[in-house]
Amino acid sequence: MSELIVENLNLSFGGIKAINDVSFTVEAGDIYAIIGPNGAGKSTIFNAISRIYTPDSGSIRYRGQELLERAAHQVVDLGIARTFQNIELFEKATVLENLLVGRSSKIRTNWISEFFFTRNVRKEERVHRRKTEEVLDLLNMQQYRYERVSDLAYGARKNVELARALCAEPEILLLDEPASGLNPEETTDMSFWLKDIKEELGVTIVMVEHDMSLVGRIADRCMALANGAVLAVGSVAEVQSDPHVQAAYLGQ
């Protein structure tokens, strides 16, 4: 079964049709890239999937369940985590604290059980710490654990956002421009991490990305958008050589 099926999605802001009849299917275990010029509607698609925006019509099914019937926190509980185009972290908190926030969808104990069943809480805390450590190891971020986010360089903050999303133990990661603002070396590191996340953790990745060399290196499939509509879908090579896609990029 396909992991994520988006069908005939439409979403307008006032008179602007930000998403125009968009359909696409993401297979489990793939890295699926969404490309397109600025304003094409890429982030809006993520906002519709994560239920920040409500589309005018269409359907978004995840493993057979209609996401449009659910609230944003339920989408996270179903296993869909995301990062934002502009980093959204708790700047004054440490890396570790930000990652523990990423685990909030997994925290089961409430304050009453915390009071009466301290042993359960300790056990749960150990699980959260272990998961957080696994993510810090995977992204080679142990040295930053006690640093404040506001003290970190941009590339490291980008990694904290990715790490926080991973701490939710997602089945699908939605990454909005994971390599934007990164230098070539950091972009290469990011490509390895995304491959590890796919191959070692088995997480499906949908990413919006402008860096076509990164997309070419890691994406299994690709969709190009312009003005809210789908221009082409296929392998990265197929999409890149599509005349509609080339016209949209040249016309930018």
Smaller CB separation from Mg ion, 100 or 214: 214
Q: Does 153 bind ligand ADP (CB under 6 A)?
A: no
Q: What are phi and psi of 157, to 5 degrees?
A: -65, -35
Q: Which does 159 bind (CB under 5 to 8 A by kind): Mg ion, ligand ADP, none?
A: none
Q: Does 16 bind ligand ADP (CB under 6 A)?
A: yes
State the minimum distance, in angstroms, from the CB of residue 96 to Mg ion: 29
Per-residue H/E/C for 76-112? HHCCEEECCCCCCCCCCCEHHHHHHHHCHHHCCCCHH
Q: Does 41 bind ligand ADP (CB under 6 A)?
A: yes
Contact positions vs Mg ion (CB under 5 A): 42-43, 85
Instruction: Name which of residues 44 to 83 contact ligand ADP (CB under 6 A).
Output: 44
**Partners of 80 in the beta sheet?**
172
Smaller CB separation from ligand ADP, 180 or 188: 180
Nearest by Cα to 172 from 71, 99, 67 = 67
Q: Which does 39 bind (CB under 5 to 8 A by kind): ligand ADP, Mg ion, none?
A: ligand ADP
Which helix (H) or strand (E) segment holds residue 165: the answer is helix 154-167
User: How do beta strands 221-226 and 31-35 pair?
Assistant: parallel
Residue nearest to Mg ion (CB): 43
Contact positions toward ligand ADP, by CB under 6 A?
13, 16, 18, 36, 38-44
